[in-house]
Amino acid sequence: MRILLVDDEIELTEPLTRVLTSEGYSVDVVYDGAAGSQMAAVGGYDLLILDWMLPHQTGLEICQQMRSRGDTTPVLFLTAKDTIDDRVRGLDAGADDYLVKPFELRELLARVRARVRRPSALQETRNLHPLMRIADLELDCENQLAYRQGRMIQLSEKECQLLEYFMRNAGSLLTHAQIYQELWGDNEQPSSNVLAALIRLLRRKIEVNGETPLIHTVYGKGYRFGENA
């Protein structure tokens, strides 16, 4: 299990790193927010432990940036801020847990264990195959599965092909002709309403319960895909 620790207090990071390492975790340590943001963007961590107040960039900002790009890596905040408003701000930014300084190392270890427990069978399956991600939607092309808001979405072959094409060209206007060419090529000639029906089916699967629409109709032209398209 890999942990990224971002805190500028060396008197805290050194003993904390020793304890975490003794528990079998692999720990990378950086001491300012800018470096922490760069390391977090590289990814591959099972947990981030972030101090709230950091030089150059706050832990709050790092967490907000992660969540805005769809990174769901668990985040544990370490902070001297202990008011209810501060806790709400941290959780609203996407933090998973919150520990107020000073704290007992055994309490932190318990929080860490809770955050990096063995992933579910669903998560293990997802980790075996590279995923495409736009906003909070992920696509596993190999298994014709999508994931959004913690739910698994089964896709037909054509639905998967269409979603992959949309995600590879997020933000671009894709005309009806371009989509037909991508999905059916030159040999097949589906009826004119096939694409509209396919779009409707895909929307029903990936946009439910008030979720942000991702497929946007450009009337008379085609479609554009993305959270703010």
Pick the CATH number of 2-115 from 1.10.3720.10, 3.40.50.800, 3.90.1150.10, 3.40.50.2300: 3.40.50.2300
pLDDT of residue 212: 92
pLDDT of residue 124: 47
Locate all alpha helices (DSSP H) within 103-186, ordered by sequence. 105-115, 121-127, 157-168, 176-184
pLDDT of residue 190: 65
pLDDT of residue 174: 95
Output the six-digit token pair for 47: 């947990």
Q: Does domain 121-225 have CATH number 3.30.1490.100?
A: no
pLDDT, averaged per 10 consecutive residues of the chain (229 residues), comes to 89 89 90 89 85 87 85 84 68 76 83 64 47 88 85 86 93 92 73 81 90 93 87
Which segments of the chain belong to CATH 1.10.10.10?
A: 121-225
Which segments of the chain belong to CATH 3.40.50.2300?
A: 2-115
Q: Of 71, 67, 27, which Cα lies nearest the Cα of 49? A: 27
Residues found in the chain:
229
Q: b/e map of 146-174 (b: 16 or more CB within 10 Å)?
A: bbbeeeebebeebbbbbbbbbbebeeeeb
pLDDT of residue 137: 92
Centre a 10 Å sphere on the Cβ of residue 217 and count the other Cβ atoms it contains.
13
